[in-house]
Every structure is written in C-alpha cells, then in structure tokens.
A and B are shown apart, each in its own frame.
Chain A
Amino acid sequence: MKPSPTIRVLTLAGLVVVSIGILHMAHLIDQPDATLDEYRIETMRIVESHSATPPVDAEWLDIDADTVIGAPIRRDNFNSSWLAIDVPAGDYDPQYLALYLRVAKANVAVYLGSRFVSSSGEMQRPLPFYLRPLYVRLPISANQSQPIETVYVRLAREGGYITPNEVFIGPADVLAAAWRSERLYGLWLPAAVATLMLALASSLLVLYFASQRRFTYYGIYGVIIILWALHSIHTLVDRVPMHHWTWFTFSYLLLWWVILTPAFANRFFDLGMKTLERSVIGIGVLLTIPILVLLAKHDIGSLYTYFAYGWVPFILLCLVIVLGQYAYASWRQWSFESVGLFFVCALGLVIGVRDYLFDWTTWVPGTTYYTKYASVVQIAYINVLIAKRYARSAHDLVTLNHTLEGRVQEKARELEEGYEERRILERERTLSQERDRLMRDMHDGLGGQLIQALAMSEKGNADEDLRESLERALIDLRLIVDSIAPSNDDLTTLLASFRHRSKRVWEKSGARLHWDMGDLPTTSLSPEQSLNLLRILQESSTNALRHGQAENIYVTTRNTEGHVRVEIRDDGSGFDPASAKAGFGLANMRRRAEEAGMDLAIDSGSAGTRITIDLPTVPNDVEDDAGSH
C-alpha cells in the first residue's frame, strides 16, 4: 500500500532536515577548534626565492592572512616560496611551542631563524596531490634571552601551497591535538573508507560477473566505488604516477561516479527511465573522449582551468536532469528506500555545487571540500540498500526452497492419489461392466430361464425340492450381481441393499423386521467378502422365515473395539443343528464366513435363533477422514 501524500510530504520534510543536519555536521568538522583560534597567525611575510636557506635579506612582502582566504599561495615560477612568521608573544611555555599548518599541499622545510628544524619531505619532488595537516615542534631553547623569533617556512616547488589563514603557532599540546583530529577526519577516515570501498567494489564486481551480469546495478555500483576511490586516491598515496595537471583534470573526469549514482538507483528500483539516462551519459561520454585525447597530448594548465570550469558544471547539470527525472519516478512509485536514495543523491548534488563554488569563488566559507562527507553518506546508504536486498533475496530463496519442496511433495502425493483414484475407477469400471453383463445375462438369459423354469414347476406341481432349488439358484444369481455393485463394498450399504432387495420377501412372510443400524466405520469389502456375507444373510433370513416361522426378526449392527458385529436374531422355533438339512446349511455358512475372514456364531433353540457375524475392522485413516467430513 502506498502512503498518503501527507505521509510522503512529512517524510520528505524529515529527509530535508536530516540532509541539513549532515551539511551542518560537515561544517562543524570543518570549523577549527575555538581554542585553536587564539593561536592563529594574522600576518606574515612572503617572498619568492631560489635560495635553499632562509633569504633573510630578501625583499619580503607583508600579507594579511585573512585577505587571501580562498586564494592559497601558489607560486609556480620559482623553485620555492618562503614565508616568514614572527612567533607571537603569548602566555605559554616557550619550551613547548609548535607550528601547525592545517592545510598543506606541499612539502615544507621549517627554519627557526637560520636554524633548520624539520622538513616534511624532499623539496625537489613536490607532492601536489597530498593534502594534509602538518605539525612541527619548534625547539626554542630555555636559556634564550629573546623568546620571540621568526619562523621561516619554505614551500617546495611547483604547485604546492598552504592556506595562509590556517597557520598556527602555539602550545604543542593544543596544536598536536588539533593536528591529530584533522589527520583523523581529513586523512585517515577517507583513506580507510576508500580502502574498504575498494574491497567492497571487488566483491560486487565478482558478484556481478558471477551472476552472469544479470544484476546490472551491482556492476554499476562497483564502478561507482572504484571511481570514487580513484578520485580520493591522494588520501592513500602521496605520489600519483602522472603529471599533476593531468591528474587534476583526470580527477575531475572521475566525477562520473556522481552521475552514475542515479543510474544505479534507476536499475536498483527498476524505475524505467532508460532513455533520458542513456542520452545524458551518451553526451557525457562524447564530451569526455576529446578531453582525454587532449590530455594525452598536452600538459596544459589552461586546459585544466577551462575543463574544470566547464566539466564540473556539466556533470552537475546532468545530475540535476537525472535527479529530476528520478525524483518524479520515485514519487510515483513511492518507496522509502528509493526516496531516501534520492535525498542522498540530492545531498551529493548540493555539496558538489558548494565545493565547486568553494573552489572557484570566494563566496563560500570553509577550508576544505565537503564531497568526501557526502560520498561517504551516499555509499554507506547504498551499502545498506544492497545488503538489505541481498538479505531479502537470501531469505526469499530459503522460503522459496521450502515452498518448492512442499509443492513437490504435494504434487508427488497428488500424483499418487490420482494414480490410486484412477486405479480404483478402473477397477470400478471393470466391475461395473462385468456387473452389467451379468445383469443382462440374468434378466435375458440364465435368470429369465430360471424364472420360466420356476413358473413351470409351480404350474406342473413339480417336486418341491426342484422348485426350491430353482428358487435358490435365482436368489443366488441376484446375490452374485449385488455383491459386485461398487457401493456394496461398505457393510452398511451392503446390508441396506440386501434389505431393499429382499423387501418383497419380508412383506410376504408377514414377519416383522426390526432394523437397527449402529454407526459403523466405513469398510472396504472385496466382492468375494460381500458375496459371502450376502449368502450368509440370505441363508439366515431364509432359515428364519421358512423354517423357524418367526414373527419378529431383529437385525442389529454394532461397532466395537476391533470388529463390527452383525446380529440376526429371530423368535422362531429354532432348529436342530444336528439335523442333516440344517447341518448342511450351517456348514456352508461357516465355510463362507471363514473364506471372508469373519467369525460366525450360531445359537439356536426353542426361543429362536441368533446368528452373529464379527468382521475385523482394519483402521483406515483416509476413509475415516472422508467419513467424518
């Protein structure tokens, strides 16, 4: 369900607040410690010189540090620049004095008076990329009568600079703390993040190729991270293997990672804005190629300037267009994750504009680029997204496997059941065909002839035995047909059918039938069992009606533990089990009961006859279930 516009607006407002918070935090980190402020150097002198030692006698130019904010000292025409800074008088122990250069993008050599104190590296091979804070202890001797001396700072040649309003001289402990904190935030943190990101990028690219390049966003994200890490490579190494102008220009080209982020988002959330994205990236690539060609051929600071003026706004413009489209799409297909990513990208855009203005104008306060903070937020957020998606897919996979397994089992069971059902149907069909054939035979052939023979025997006063034999034959034929009726595999149905079938006989006899069917479990009698049981029932009822002259006949069924009992009881005169005729019938019944696997008990006396048949019940879960519904 998509959230209402109110919730969306509130979410957006919340994200705006969070973004402003992040900007503010970057600003706070950028602000020097307040205690540091009192040691800031306000004025200094500068001179360009080829001298390797402090040119004390040169023509020094006084400068006010604040007036050159944002325009760092850059002197390209000389081997080195010299700064002269007077150690201010202050309420501190002169034995523990230090010089702190917060923004140094050059190697420096520090002299106290004419005395060499320290150097951050060689002077002939400058480090134009390596921007870091520098801290130097100033060993002012205790017995010095004149505590105020001049500190000379030599900046290495070509491109190196320091920011003049970020120079401090003061107590060693305060400055060392500031230096350590600056190193942590400005250097080591980005370096650590870049290292981690490169490791992450390699795993993502492996994932991308291992997935047969199905998940494009993994690939894009891997490329983003690599570009970003390359862009901040100067935090990792102090020497990049190319000319520094080439490097500056190239590092601007690496801003591609910014524009790739919305491309990643587009694929990650499947927003479908391919055309726009492709045209923006296409134009970008077309513009990049000639620049790279020029870079390969020339070493030109003017190209760098032109390029930095033109390329960065172009990248930012592309980002505005792509982000605009992305904002529209993620508003429509609202999800918190995608809106969050939009904000992270937008934050990158705002900070990118800020850094651009910081670099090329004097309007923006601050001492350093903020993009490093924005990119850490951005990449951290994307990491969370990818990790979440990965976790979700892993979970889905497990669930899916589970479901699939269940479904395979279910299908297997269904197949088995289907097979069983078909087998039963097949059997029923065969039985039914057989029954039809028998019924036809009975009505038209054998049965018809029996009926005719019976009628003839009745007319011709034929032998009683013959008549009875014919009658029995006819009845038995009917029983055979009944025994193979498909529904008659159930005991209750079999008994009920038998009663229904014999209705006329019961009515003619005048005996009263007491029918009492208990609740029986569903049974599954074979046709043979059914036939044997029907014959026993037939024999019993015939005996009761014909020989016992019963007035009441009781047929009862009961379900007890382990077996079902059918009882046929009458109040007739009974019979003598020992008599030849009765004996023959009883033996037949016994044999049939045995064949059908039932227990038969016959108890006959003057008070009547009681026949009990016990059928073992086989527990059958499936049928019990079906019966209870």
Chain B
Amino acid sequence: MIVEDHDATRDSLVAKVSADPALNVVADVATLAAAKRAYERHRPDVLLVDLQLPDGNGTELIGAVSGESLTLVISVFGDEKRVVGAIRAGASGYLLKDDDAKEVSVAIHQILNGQSPISPAIASHLIAHFQKRITSQTDVSLSQREQDVLMLASKGYTYGEIAELMNVSANTVGTYTKRIYTKLEVNSKSAAVYEARRLGLMDD
C-alpha cells in the first residue's frame, strides 16, 4: 500500500513496486483519512508512507500500524530528521523519491527479512539521541555492537564494509540496524508513557 499525495511520485512508485513480480500494490491513496480506511480493508504487509500529507502527518499512520505492518518512509535527501521521527514512531526504513525500481524492491525485501537501511545522517541523529538519553532508567540502551554499527554508518561505511570491519555478514548488519530502530521506538514510547504519567494522564 502506498500513501503519497504527489500524483506523479505515487504513480511512479506504484510502477516501481509493481515491476517486482513478488510484490503487489493493494492500494494507493493520497490522504491520511483514505489511508486509514484502506488499511482497515486491506491490512497490507508493507506500507510506503509520505510524511507530509494534506490532512495530517504520515507519522501518525506509522505509529498506528506499528507492530501490525512494516512501513517505509518516502523521503528525499536531507530529510533525515523527519525520517528519524518516523522511525521513532515505528517505521522500519526509508525510500528516496528518486530511487529506481530495483532499489525500491530491495528496500521492501530488506525490511521483510527483518533488516533496515541506514544512512550516515540518520546514524548521526541516532548516536546523538542515544547519548542524550542514557539518564532515563526506563530506556533500553544499545549493545556495543549496535553502537559500532551506528558509529561506522555515520562515517559513511556501507553495509558491506561494516560487515567486513566487524567480521559479520551484511545481513547481520541490517538486522542490527532493525534492532536499533526497535529500541529507538521502545524508548520513545516509554518516554511518552513517562510523560503521560507525569502529566497525570495515566493511572499506572
């Protein structure tokens, strides 16, 4: 399922996804409201979601379906901050608007295999995030290897190179990244719960 308000981009994404015989586009919509309805009807495995929608923010949809379906954020270069926001809400990865069919197909298969892509800018954001939040007790912290992955990714090394430097397979690096994303999501949810408790919105 594809959620994108730009007609041209949506059409081109539909075409790129459909080019892979293993993938099937069950719905393509332009608004958040339509996306919610379509999601209830089709329950897709993977959603490609644009963040800036005319009737709201795609992050909301990502948070709502997190745990049920996998999502990829449709982004552009330099948009890493928003991508990190989406990952906090539960997104598994991102696509670039100008990715070609092959790249789109690879990205979707990657997240279906429990792996996630990462860019240096996203890695930098995550390093800063986890450094800032070591004080909170409820937070899940990163393992040493996960920290290594982030550090190398932030320096621009590719999965292949990181795998070589760490003596693991490239797939494992993708799995680490997925785990880092999950921890980020857990932490941001525990922070939300903490805030809610603090404000008295939750009893326990």
Contacts and interface: CB of A to CB of B under 8 A. Distances in A.
A515 B155 CA distance: 9
B125 A478 contact: no
Contact of A443 (B76, B154, B157): B76
A515 B77 contact: no
Interface string A469-486: 000000000100110010
A498 B154 CA distance: 12
Contacts of A517: 155-157
A629 interface: yes
Interface stretch (B10-18, B30-38, B116-124, B180-188): B116-124
Given A487-B125, A493-B121, A497-B120, A478 B157 contact: no
A500 B156 contact: yes
Contact of A482 (B77, B124, B158): B77
A492 B155 contact: yes
Contacts of B157: 515, 517
A495 interface: yes
Interface string B115-159: 000011100110000010000000000000000000000111110
Given A439-B78, A478-B77, A497 B155 contact: no
B154 A493 contact: yes
A496 interface: yes
B76 A497 contact: no
B156 A629 contact: no
A485 B156 contact: no
A183 interface: no
Contacts of B119: 497, 500
Contacts of A495: 155-156
Nearest to A440: B76
B118 to A, nearest CB: 10
A487 B161 CA distance: 23
Contacts of B156: 492, 495-500, 515, 517
Contact of A487 (B80, B131, B155, B158): B80
Q: What size tier do the contact residues of chain B reach?
A: 10 to 19
B106 to A, nearest CB: 12
Contacts, number: 53
Contacts of B76: 439, 443
Contacts of B124: 487, 490, 493
A435 interface: yes
Contacts of A629: 131
A517 B125 CA distance: 19
Nearest to B97: A443
A501 interface: yes
B159 to A, nearest CB: 12
A499 B124 CA distance: 15
Contacts of B80: 485, 487
A435 B154 contact: no
Most buried by A among B97, B119, B155: B155
Interface string B46-67: 0000000000000000000000
A40 to B, nearest CB: 85
A482 B155 contact: no
Interface residues of A, number: 21
A184 B167 CA distance: 97
A496 B78 contact: no
Contacts of A515: 156-158, 161
A207 to B, nearest CB: 47
Contacts of A481: 77-78
A427 to B, nearest CB: 15
Contacts of B131: 629
B203 to A, nearest CB: 35
Contact of B77 (A487, A492, A496, A501): A501
Nearest to A626: B131
Given A439-B78, A481-B78, A482-B77, A496 B155 contact: yes
Nearest to B119: A500
A421 B90 CA distance: 29
Most buried by B among A495, A496, A498: A496
A435 B78 contact: yes
Contact of B154 (A478, A482, A492): A492
B68 to A, nearest CB: 31
A481 B161 CA distance: 27
Contacts of B121: 485, 487, 493, 496-497, 500
A435 B161 CA distance: 31
Given A496-B155, A515-B156, A515-B157, A485 B120 contact: no
B50 to A, nearest CB: 13
Interface string B66-82: 00000000001110100
B120 to A, nearest CB: 3
Nearest to A481: B78
A622 B155 CA distance: 21
A443 B97 CA distance: 10
A517 B78 CA distance: 22
Contacts of A482: 77-78
A576 B155 CA distance: 33
B154 A485 contact: no
A498 B76 CA distance: 15
A267 B158 CA distance: 76
A439 B76 CA distance: 9
Interface string A497-524: 1111100000000000001010000000
Interface in A354-408: none
Interface in A130-146: none
A517 B152 CA distance: 9
A346 B104 CA distance: 93
A500 B161 contact: no
Most buried by B among A492, A499, A500: A500
A499 B80 CA distance: 15
Contacts of A443: 76, 97
B13 to A, nearest CB: 15
Nearest to A428: B81
Nearest to A490: B124
A490 B154 CA distance: 11
A229 to B, nearest CB: 62
Given A435-B78, A497-B120, A517-B156, 11 more contacts: A439-B78, A485-B78, A490-B124, A493-B120, A496-B156, A499-B120, A500-B120, A515-B157, A515-B158, A515-B161, A517-B155
8 contacts: A439-B76, A478-B77, A487-B121, A487-B124, A493-B154, A496-B155, A500-B119, A500-B120
Interface of B: 76-78, 80, 97, 119-121, 124-125, 131, 154-158, 161
9 interchain residue pairs of minimum CB distance: A496-B156, A496-B120, A517-B155, A499-B156, A485-B78, A500-B119, A493-B124, A487-B124, A496-B155
